[in-house]
Amino acid sequence: MKTFVVIGLGRFGSAVATELSSLGHEVLALDDSEENVQKVADKVTHAVTGDARDPAVLRALGVRNYDCAVVAVGVDVGTSALITLNLKELGVRKVICKAQSHVHRKVLEKIGADRVVFPEHEMGVKLAQGLSSSNVLNFIELSEDFGIVETTVPRDWLGKNLAELNVRARYKVNIIAVRKKGQEAFNVTPGPSTIMEAGDTVVALGRTEDVNRLQDL
C-alpha cells in the first residue's frame, strides 16, 4: 500500500483520490472547499478542508510523510505553482501536477514538479486514436513524441512470428507485450518465435508517428 495526498477536489482530483483509495491505498484528500471535501469524505482515508497555499497547513497534516502528492489545482497557475513549491520545500518525495498549458507545465517543472499531466489533452489524444481506427484498443501518450498503443494484430502480420516481422527495423516500434486470443494476461516477454494470429493483441512502444502507422497495416 502506498500513501497519497491529493490537493484540489474538482472532477479530476476527486477521480484520482477515489480511485487510488479503491485500489487499496491510503489517501489524504485536501481542498479549501468544504463542499468538495464532503463529496469524497466517505470514499478516501482522510478528507480535510484547508488551504494548501499555507505551508503550515501542509506541515500540520504531515504531507512530507506521504509517498506522493497530486496537485489537481489546474485553473490558477499561481496557486498550483505555490502549492507545488510548498510540497517540494517540505520534502515530499514525488509531486505530480495538473497543468492547463505548456507554459503552465514549464513553470511547474522549473519549481520541481516530478511529473506534469494534461488530463483533457491526454483524454483527447486517446479518443482521437480510438476514433481513427477500429483496431486501436488503447493509447497512452508518454511525452509529446512517444506513446504506447494497444492494438489488435495487423492483418499483414498474421501467420508470421516476431523474428520474421522484424518489427523494430521495419516499423520502428518495439513490441513489449502480446496477449493471445482468449487469454486475459499479457506475455510481457514475447520471444522471437511468437506467431501472430487473428484475435491476438499487441502492445507497441515507439514514436507517436510510428505507432500511429500500425493503424494502417
At the topology level, CATH places domain 121-216 in: Alpha-Beta Plaits (3.30.70)
Residue 152 clears pLDDT 70, i.e. is over it: yes
Closest-CA residue to 151 (of 166, 167, 164): 167
Mean pLDDT of the chain: 88
Residue 129 clears pLDDT 90, i.e. is over it: no
pLDDT tens track for 14-46: 999 999 999 999 999 999 999 999 999 999 999
As a whole number, mean pLDDT of residues 115-132 equals: 69
Domain boundaries, the chain: 3-117, 121-216
Check: pTM over 0.75? Answer yes or no. Answer: no
pLDDT tens track for 93-103: 999 999 988 88
Does domain 3-117 bear CATH number 3.40.50.720? yes
Residue 127 clears pLDDT 70, i.e. is over it: no
Asked if residues 147 and 122 have their Cβ atoms less than 8 Å apart, the reply is no
Question: Can you say whether the dihedral through the CA atoms of 78, 79, 85, 88 is positive or negative?
Answer: negative
Q: Do domains 3-117 and 121-216 have the same CATH topology?
A: no
Angle made by CA atoms 77, 93, 147, in degrees to the nearest 5: 70
